[in-house]
Amino acid sequence: MTRLLQGRIVVATHNAGKLREMRELLAPYGIEAVSAGELGLAEPDETATDFIGNALIKAEAAARAANLPAFADDSGLCVDGLNGDPGIYSARWAKEAGDYDRVMAKIDGLLIERGCVAPEQRRAHFVSALAVAWPDGHRETFEGKVFGIIVAPPRGTAGFGYDPCFLPDGHTRTFGEMTSDEKHGIPADGSQALSHRARAFQMLAAACLRKA
């Protein structure tokens, strides 16, 4: 049985971009969000083999450490022509490359090496897995996806991470060219949100949140 999320929670991230998006999504529900980074919580090792598993590791560790409900995201970019890579290793690829500009260039180079130059050969999708964990062990999980193609060179300076190289289906601008509201805003008419994180959040909100 699902459980309502209320009051103060920990957003189990040290990523400023993710924290900003989470706070924007949680604001209409009267949730006070403090980050794991602000509380000085350690980052647990992400040893799972899928997004949901890694989100749960982070949420459960933060819930235990802070004795508060904790909310975590694990997300990444999965490129069809690279057999789903970087996938759950998206952050690791960026760290090893030095920054996101270099890792986006790496992805483009790998696709070209494999002959993936036409748009239909550069299919990709973003995944966002959200997990909520309570100190007593109760937990909820949700997963959202958005499909599109990899473009080069990257376009736009909005957003963060891999946003500038991802063009979602049905759109002419990359995530890096969209405002936060365009990308993450939850439609008032209840239709599906655009971004992977907002889509997962819609599922979470329907199950665990009530408007303030």
Report pTM: 0.89
- In single-letter form, the type of residue at position 163 comes to D
Question: Does 90 fall in a domain?
Answer: yes
Question: Does 3 fall in a domain?
Answer: no
Question: Does 13 fall in a domain?
Answer: yes
Question: Does 105 fall in a domain?
Answer: yes
Question: Does 104 fall in a domain?
Answer: yes
Question: Does 112 fall in a domain?
Answer: yes
The verdict on whether 73 is a catalytic residue reads: no
The total domain count for the chain is 1
**CATH classification of the domain holding 85:** 3.90.950.10
Scanning 10-129, the segments in alpha helix (DSSP H) are 16-26, 36-39, 51-66, 90-97, 100-113
What end-to-end distance do the CA atoms of the chain give, in Å?
22
Question: Does 2 fall in a domain?
Answer: no
Instruction: Say which range, 97-101, 104-108, 133-137, 178-182, has the weakest mean pLDDT.
Output: 178-182
Interatomic CA distance for residues 42 and 12, integer angstroms:
10
Q: Identify the H or E element spanning 39.
A: helix 36-39
Give me the domain span that covers residue 166. Answer: 8-208
Question: Does 1 fall in a domain?
Answer: no
Tell me what the pLDDT averaged over the chain comes to.
93
Catalytic residue among 73, 74, 80, 108: 74
Note if the bond before 153 is cis, omega within 30 degrees. yes
Predicted confidence (pLDDT) per residue in 113-131, tens digit: 999 999 999 999 999 999 9
Interatomic CA distance for residues 131 and 158, integer angstroms:
26
